[in-house]
């Protein structure tokens, strides 16, 4: 039996990398997240990567806890980012790329609404930012 969850976590540093387009970075990390989820027999059904946070809809088998799957994805993806997108001469020991912790909620009857929310999160964030300009 599988459990579907909505997952959110933030970044400690901006997800912008000089010389790398945001689209290329998002595409690469999306593939990395999906591969890491498969290591824990899980599946990312929907996901969206924004420069300051990540949203995902994930199916997790009951054999694994949410913390096992999220720990694998956040930990190994941070290593991937450090190895492939940062200055090689820097020593990143003791530093974290992702913010500490995460938010998770179980997806039930509102799965379609959750999928739509994740798909359109960037447009919604932009709309809210525009509204804040006038307050």
38: domain CATH number is 3.30.70.1290
Per-residue pLDDT of the chain (135 residues; tens, 9 = 90+): 789 999 999 888 666 666 667 777 788 999 999 999 999 999 999 888 887 888 899 999 999 999 999 999 999 998 888 888 776 655 555 567 788 899 998 888 788 888 787 777 767 666 666 666 665
pLDDT recorded at residue 132: 64
Give the predicted TM-score (pTM) of the model: 0.78
How many domains would you assign to the chain? 1
Q: What CA–CA distance (Å, rounded) separates 96 from 22?
A: 20
Structural domain boundaries, residue 46: 2-132
Residue 5's SS3 state is strand
For position 50, what pLDDT does the model report? 80
CA 52, CA 108: separation in Å to the nearest integer? Answer: 27
- Return left, alpha or beta for 20; rule: phi > 0 is left, psi -120 to 50 is alpha, else beta: beta
């Amino acid at each position: 039996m599988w459990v579907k969850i909505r997952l959110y976590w933030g970044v400690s540093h901006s997800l912008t990398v000089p010389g790398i387009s945001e689209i290329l970075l998002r595409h690469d990390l999306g593939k990395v997240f999906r591969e890491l989820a498969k290591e824990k027999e899980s599946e990312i059904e929907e996901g969206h990567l924004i420069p300051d946070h990540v949203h995902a809809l994930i199916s997790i088998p009951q054999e694994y806890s949410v913390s096992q799957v999220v720990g694998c994805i956040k930990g190994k993806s941070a290593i991937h980012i450090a190895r492939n997108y940062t200055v090689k001469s820097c020593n990143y020991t003791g530093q974290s790329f992702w913010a500490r912790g995460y938010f998770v909620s179980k997806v039930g009857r509102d799965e379609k609404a959750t999928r739509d929310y994740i798909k359109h999160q960037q447009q919604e964030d932009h709309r809210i930012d525009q509204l804040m300009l006038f307050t």
